[in-house]
Amino acid sequence: MASSGIALSTAEARRPIVTAAALRTFARGGYHGTTVADVARAAEISPAYVFKLFPSKETLFASALELCFSQVSDALALGADAAPDQSPAEVLSAMGEAYADLIADRSLLLLQVHALAVADVPEIGAALRAGLARITMFAKERSGAPDEDVQRFVAFGQLCHLIATTHSDDETGEWARIISAGIRH
């Protein structure tokens, strides 16, 4: 039941379940390596029902990406609220720690990486830019930090993606030490 006392339709109730299944499934296989049937199987519904909820594979992926960025935004908010003091630097640092904890679940990390690879698909590129805008503006507004500090915060997040996806933190060479110095991911 919705809080208004109105029962949700099956489609309204299923959409978030399918979106969560899409996030996990696309994170594992990427856009090109995942079929709508794969997502349907993970959501325990038929591919036809997935297409009833999402008119295309692109909109399904974009919906999964929107969920990903919602989860990122929620984690950043919790991190910001938990900052030991509310100075811009401390808020950004606390948000970075919260993000590092969040992407320990590699699904969110990998979905973002896969989205970068197919950002030329209009629906996916638009969802990726919207998510990046949301995170950037949240970091700016919540921290009160100058633009260059927010830029550095976002850049470090992308560096965390690079280090985590390439397993550079397992490397012992000087290059790996240089790119991962001071970064927890």
Predicted confidence (pLDDT) per residue in 15-27, tens digit: 999 999 999 999 9
The predicted-structure confidence for 113-148, as pLDDT tens digits, reads as follows: 999 999 999 999 999 999 999 999 999 999 999 999
Euclidean distance between CA atoms 56 and 23, whole angstroms: 15
CATH number at residue 29: 1.10.357.10
Average confidence (pLDDT) over 152-178: 88
The domain tally of the chain equals 1
Contact 58, 124 (CB under 8 A): yes
Tell me if 2 is assigned to some domain.
Answer: no
The boundaries of the domain holding residue 165 are: 10-180
Short-list 71, 70, 84, 72, CA closest to 153: 72
pLDDT value for 184: 62
67's CB contacts (< 8 A; 6+ apart) are 16, 19, 20, 23
